[in-house]
Structure 1
Amino acid sequence: MAAVAPAVSSGSTAPLTNGSVPTVADKYRGAVVEDLQLSPAFALPQDEHLGRAIELAYDRDFSHIPVLDRKRKPLGYVEVAALKKKYEAGEANPTDRVAAYMVKFNRSVSTHPYTVITPDTPLSDLEEFLKDKIFALVTDYGRKFVLGVATAQDLETFVSRRGF
């Protein structure tokens, strides 16, 4: 883990000691995704039953869960609240597969370039990525395994722990 120096409060635009206004770089001070200390990734296989997926999501208090193929390649994600709503409305059967209800990742590189997020990705880059995304999958350097899931809330927690 990288050593991290404390900063000022996140809602603050108070000048730093040199009189300048804090920037994103000041907020994170060189911290990377690994510094977030994310919980290990939890993902579902594409053939998991819907009932089990909802149960596992609530046990772990997750709102979105990545869905992987048999080779552990990310295919998409399930939105737990939407699954539960369909389930309660009788629009989904507990033995249905999650793949039928997942939001698929758009793999078209030309229209949606793939952004690699690893433990070494600077938090300022992660913040930029999360501006229009729900979450980021953190992968190993070879992109073979999902190591964690990062959200804007993880960044907010990190900043508040540091007192920025």
Structure 2
Amino acid sequence: MATATLSPQTTHLFTATAAEKYRGAVVEDLQLPPAFCVKSSETILRAIEQAYERDFSHIPVLDRQRRPLGYIDVATLKTQWEAGNTDASDKVINYMTKFKRTVSQPYTLITPYTPLAELEEFLKQNIFAIVTDPSRKFVVALATTQDLETFVSRRGF
């Protein structure tokens, strides 16, 4: 009867810390596509069309100063529209999930220079991360757990 044993190298794969797994990589190393955002005054029809063109499942909603207010879940919005619960000309602000910024839930800054280990921790509690420039003046990209998984598989870890 043959038995298999794990070598020290194989065992290391299952117990790797986030820092070891990402080998010092930062968000910029994910090579994310540029973010697609909509203004709060955009119609849901236009938002849905553009989301499908770009293959985005969540879209940040911005105010007039281009600050993130919240996001729309494209699949949920499309379902509501197909069910007749919305009108194509309705504004996305009426259907967005608002970001909760409070003392107990402060804004977490994710930039292109944020270590992937920190991003992983953030994504344990959130669907996606909005990546902004360090001064939070504009949205650079969106990051998901799938982006992290793709990165790790590309690196062969």
* Fold agreement, TM-score > 0.5: yes
1:96-135 correspondence runs (5 A): 96-108=90-102, 110-135=103-128
Question: Distance between the aligned counterparts of 2:121 and 2:84, measured in 1?
Answer: 39
1:94 is paired with a residue whose SS is coil
1:38 is paired with a residue whose SS is coil
Larger radius of gyration: 2
Query: Quick one: which of 69, 84, 88 aligns to 2:82?
Result: 88
Deviation at 1:136, TM superposition (A): 0.3
CA deviation map 1:89-143 (0-9, x unaligned): 11000000000000000121x1212110011100000000000100000000111
Decide whether aligned partners of structure 1 residues 154 and 20 sit closer, same or farther in structure 2, where only a CA change above 3 A counts.
Answer: closer
1:23 aligns to 2:17 (yes or no): yes
Decide whether aligned partners of structure 1 residues 33 and 83 sit closer, same or farther in structure 2, where only a CA change above 3 A counts.
Answer: same
Question: Distance between the aligned counterparts of 1:131 and 1:18, measured in 2?
Answer: 22
Is the CA contact (8 Å cut-off) linking 1:14 and 1:22 kept in structure 2? no
Letter in 2 for 1:42: F
Letter in 2 for 1:89: A
Query: Quick one: which of 146, 149, 163 aligns to 2:142?
Result: 149
**Normalization by structure 1: what TM-score?**
0.87
Decide whether aligned partners of structure 1 residues 21 and 111 sit closer, same or farther in structure 2, where only a CA change above 3 A counts.
Answer: closer
Decide whether aligned partners of structure 1 residues 92 and 18 sit closer, same or farther in structure 2, where only a CA change above 3 A counts.
Answer: closer
Root-mean-square deviation (Å):
2.2
Deviation at 1:47, TM superposition (A): 0.4
Is the CA contact (8 Å cut-off) linking 1:51 and 1:95 kept in structure 2? yes
Give structure 1 stretches of 5+ with no counterpart. 1-11
Query: Quick one: which of 139, 152, 156 aligns to 1:159?
Result: 152
Deviation at 1:41, TM superposition (A): 0.8
Is the CA contact (8 Å cut-off) linking 1:15 and 1:22 kept in structure 2? no
CA deviation map 1:5-31 (0-9, x unaligned): xxxxxxx99637999942211110000
Higher helix proportion: 2
Give structure 2 stretches of 5+ with no counterpart. 1-5
2:124 is paired with a residue whose SS is helix
**Normalization by structure 2: what TM-score?**
0.91
Identity of aligned residues (%): 62
Question: Distance between the aligned counterparts of 1:144 and 1:67, measured in 2?
Answer: 14
Q: May I ask how many residue pairs the two structures share in their alignment? A: 152
